[in-house]
């Protein structure tokens, strides 16, 4: 069965959710009822066929009595490198004044800025390394300027 474009992170999210549900001794139907989602939708999440919103993940986490941040990391919404509690992503995800589409848009823009900055700093490092390797005549140039005055 093809998983489509949902991706690997969702597959591991689904496996993790199923593992947590089984260890909590809840049926799929019980968890779906407690989380306020439909039984088929939860089943699709567990099988990696659907990518849930941050809001749905929060409801599932509450029903399972586990950390929503852990689910966000597993779903690829948060990076494990980010400090949970002060991260920009967590602030966006937990903002109740934004729609899910707005949250996703902000997360995408933020991720693109981080990627751009990482690429720029990589370019800067390459340029700095090239500059270190290049021969410099700054001492002779400054001596010539001093002698002209």
Using only C-alpha atoms, the chain has a radius of gyration, in whole angstroms, of 25
Q: Please report, for the chain, how many H helices and E strands are present, in that order.
A: 8, 0
What is the crossing angle of helices 28-35 and 39-46, to 10°? 110
pLDDT at 69 over 70: yes
Look at 100-109, 114-123, 134-143 and tell me which has the smallest mean pLDDT: 134-143
Q: To the nearest whole percent, how much of the chain has pLDDT over 70?
A: 70
pLDDT band at 11 (very low <50, low <70, confident <90, very high): low
Q: Rounded to whole angstroms, how far apart are CA atoms 12 and 112?
A: 24
Of 29-43, 49-63, 106-120, the range with the lowest mean pLDDT is 106-120
Cα 23 to its chain centre, rounded Å, is: 26
Question: Quick one: pLDDT band at residue 143, thresholds 50, 70, 90?
Answer: very low
| 28, pLDDT greater than 90 | yes
| Confidence at 25, pLDDT banded by 50, 70, 90 | very high
Percent of the chain with pLDDT over 90: 28
Examine the pLDDT at 10 and tell me if it is beyond 90: no
pLDDT given for residue 132 in this prediction: 56
Give the Cα separation of 143 and 129 in Å (integer): 26
H/E stretch holding 120 reads helix 100-133
| CA nearest to 37, candidates 13, 58, 6 | 58
């Amino acid at each position: 069965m093809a998983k489509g474009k949902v991706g690997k992170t969702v597959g591991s999210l689904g496996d993790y959710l199923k593992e947590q549900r089984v260890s909590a001794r809840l049926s799929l139907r019980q968890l779906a009822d407690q989380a306020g989602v439909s039984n088929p939708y939860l089943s699709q999440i567990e099988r990696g066929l659907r990518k849930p919103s941050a809001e749905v993940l929060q409801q599932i986490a509450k029903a399972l009595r586990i950390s929503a941040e852990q689910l966000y990391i597993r779903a690829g919404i948060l990076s494990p490198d980010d400090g949970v509690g002060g991260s920009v992503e967590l602030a966006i995800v937990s903002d109740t004044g934004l729609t899910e589409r707005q949250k996703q848009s902000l997360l995408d823009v933020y991720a693109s800025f981080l990627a751009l900055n990482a690429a720029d700093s990589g370019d800067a490092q390459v340029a700095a390394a090239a500059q270190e390797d290049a021969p410099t005549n700054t001492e002779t140039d400054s001596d010539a300027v001093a002698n002209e005055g």
